[in-house]
């Protein structure tokens, strides 16, 4: 079983950029129509982008990375379920660190994309999606592209809540559950500026209810939008100790995906 079975659309890093870019533009166009329809339906005759509707009915009681991030995890996690009603993954959240060791993000580009290493600054949140199986694989149900896509949607929702409700967050990293029998290697990473448009309108205009399941994700109106936002934010991750004892690097190697 390959990583592609669990992580939708994973391609070689040398896949054509034009094909990916064209797919993203098409997905955004389709999603814009679908989301606009959802906003009209939910907003009613007096609705509009500038009304006083709350961004979300939920808001964590704390805007700190420790308590606030875990409150977001506790709220979002139970909404994502298998068709049999079982919650898919346990979600934990907090500052970007392993134990008490802070992590610094280093994005390592391939030689084909310039070969540089970008050190990402700012305040960062780390979420872990664990399916409670071996090495945090999802313990039940069938591994599929659809289930991996649903994990991408959950990751995006965690990121949007974090940027909107936690103080000063610049980056959100979400470790994905691995396919069964594999090591966890895939992470999603978002930066605040990438989702500024989504933060400026109510959450359910971007990710409308009901939350889909793996059986319904292909028909969810927000799926093209989730795929488009995710396309440039999938990475293989690894950890390496810095040449000092007070920090370590979270190394992110970009993985191109197709929507």
96 domain-assigned: yes
Q: Is the pLDDT of residue 125 over 60?
A: yes
168 domain-assigned: yes
145-151: average pLDDT: 95
Distance CA 170, CA 107 (A): 15
128 domain-assigned: yes
Q: Is the pLDDT of residue 24 over 60?
A: no
Q: Is the pLDDT of residue 222 over 90?
A: yes
114 domain-assigned: yes
Q: Which two tokens stand for residue 65?
A: 């990375």
pLDDT tens string 200-216: 999 999 999 999 999 99
pLDDT of residue 12: 41
Domain tally, the chain: 1
pLDDT of residue 14: 42
User: Residue 234's closest CA among 186, 182, 171?
Assistant: 186
Band (pLDDT 50/70/90 cuts) for residue 102 is very high
Q: How is 43-76 classified by DSSP, letter by letter?
A: H-TT--TTS---S-S---S--SHHHHHHHHHHHH
Domain of residue 80 covers 3-254
pLDDT of residue 173: 98
Least confident range from 4-8, 116-120, 241-245: namely 4-8
Band (pLDDT 50/70/90 cuts) for residue 242 is confident
E-strand stretches of the chain: 90-95, 97-98, 101-108, 117-120, 123-130, 169-175, 186-191, 234-241, 248-254
Q: Is the pLDDT of residue 48 over 50?
A: no
Cβ 180 vs Cβ 143: under 8 Å: yes
Q: pTM for the complete prediction?
A: 0.81
Q: Is the pLDDT of residue 57 over 60?
A: yes
pLDDT of residue 42: 41
259 domain-assigned: no
98 domain-assigned: yes
200 domain-assigned: yes
Cβ 221 vs Cβ 35: under 8 Å: yes
Cβ 125 vs Cβ 16: under 8 Å: no
Cβ 235 vs Cβ 189: under 8 Å: yes
Band (pLDDT 50/70/90 cuts) for residue 142 is confident
pLDDT of residue 21: 40
Least confident range from 1-15, 102-116, 175-189, 245-259: namely 1-15
Least confident range from 14-23, 38-47, 115-124, 166-175: namely 38-47
43 domain-assigned: yes
Across the chain, mean pLDDT equals 84
């Amino acid at each position: 079983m390959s990583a592609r079975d669990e992580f939708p659309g994973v391609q070689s890093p040398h896949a054509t950029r034009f094909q990916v870019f064209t797919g993203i533009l098409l997905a955004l166009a389709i999603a814009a129509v679908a989301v606009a329809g959802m906003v009209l339906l939910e907003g009613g005759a007096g609705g509009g982008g500038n009304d006083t509707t709350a961004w979300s009915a939920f808001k964590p009681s704390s805007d700190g990375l420790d308590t606030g991030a875990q409150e977001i995890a506790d709220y979002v996690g139970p909404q994502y379920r298998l068709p049999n009603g079982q919650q898919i993954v346990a979600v934990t959240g907090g500052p970007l660190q392993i134990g008490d060791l802070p992590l610094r993000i280093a994005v390592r580009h391939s030689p084909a994309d310039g070969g540089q290493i970008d050190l990402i600054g700012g305040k960062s949140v780390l979420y872990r999606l664990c399916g409670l199986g071996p090495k945090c694989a999802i313990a039940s149900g069938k591994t599929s592209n659809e289930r991996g896509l649903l994990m991408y949607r959950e990751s995006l929702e965690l990121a949007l809540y974090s940027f909107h409700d936690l103080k000063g967050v610049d980056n959100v990293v979400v470790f994905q559950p691995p396919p069964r029998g594999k090591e966890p290697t895939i992470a999603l990473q978002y930066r605040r500026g990438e989702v500024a448009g989504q933060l400026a309108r109510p959450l359910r205009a971007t990710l409308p209810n009901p939350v889909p399941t793996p059986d319904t994700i292909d028909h969810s109106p927000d799926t093209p939008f989730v795929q488009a936002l995710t396309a440039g934010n999938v990475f293989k991750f690894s950890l390496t100790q810095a040449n000092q004892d007070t920090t370590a690097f979270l190394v992110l190697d970009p993985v191109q995906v197709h929507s």
